[in-house]
Amino acid sequence: MRFIDSHCHLDFSEFDETRTELITACKQVGIEHFIVPGVSLAQSTKLLSFTKSEPSISVALGLHPYFLSDHQTHHLAELEQLAKTHSGQFIAIGECGLDRSIDNLDKQTQFFEGQIELANQLALPLIVHHRQSHDLIARSFKRCKPKFGGVIHAFSGSEQQAQSYIKQGFKLGVGGVISYPRAAKTRKVISLIELQHLVLETDSPSMPLAGFQGQVNTPLKVRDVFTHLCELKGATGDAKLQLAAELYDSCSELFLI
Ligand SMILES: [Zn+2]
């Protein structure tokens, strides 16, 4: 079986001591590829050289709402410039999105919609972050329609919300959340969605799986996410091989890996 971790922050300092060994350990167990999102202008710029040293890493360029206080209005234009200068060296725009736990939703919306426009201009998918914000994202998507789909990272929400994203060309990111029994609603929704609309992710170093709280999450855990998904789908034996293959294709088709 081979896997892609469609969302991991491998460039974060948590991995500085272990990155090379970690990537080797991942490859030994079939985790072949890693997608590392951009979170700020400075970090996105650095990511472009990060990918050169390791062909199994693809990167995205983006301005994440968590780092809103770092983002200046001119960063949007600079992100566009960076993207145009380095076309072909990254595979998506993001991590961008809207997060109700962070102040200043007007500024968040301006950056989010600016990045949707940029993705449309460059014919690239988006990596979308949400927190209590499906309604706001729906509004942004109406004003500024994404043309090339993307991933709704760490999807949690209703089946109706899931289907609405799928209709708009998005896949749902499935991560450690499904390992928690208390995430019954998300587990149920994910169990109902066809595999071609799902991608596996860890969001490492964040989002540890159940039983690993307080530890640094790593891309190695993408296999555990897969195991939990197999349980939700009732897949055993050869059906698991088929499931892994479909998830791999779902991710590689979206990001053209
Ligand atoms: Zn992330």
User: How far apart are the two ends of the chain, measured CA to CA in Å?
Assistant: 17
Instruction: Compute the distance from residue 237 Cα to the ligand 1 centre, in Å.
Output: 32
Residue range 135-142: average pLDDT? 97
Mean pLDDT (whole number) for 193-221 = 96
Residue 167 backbone phi and psi in degrees, to 5? -60, -30
pLDDT at 79: 97
Ligand 1 centroid distance, CA of 6 (Å): 10
Residue 249 assigned to a binding site: no
Sorted by where each starts, the structural domains of the chain and their CATH numbers stand as 3-255 (3.20.20.140)
Residue 102 pLDDT > 90:
yes
Q: Is pLDDT above 90 for 51?
A: no
| Amino acid (1-letter code) at residue 244 | A
Handedness of CA 233, 237, 242, 245 (dihedral sign): positive
Which residues are in the CB-under-5-Å shell of ion ligand 1? 95, 203
How close is the Cα of 110 to the center of ligand 1, in Å?
A: 20
| Mean pLDDT (the chain, rounded) | 96
Phi-psi region of 209 (alpha: psi -120 to 50; beta: other; left: phi over 0): beta
- 169: three-class secondary structure by DSSP: coil
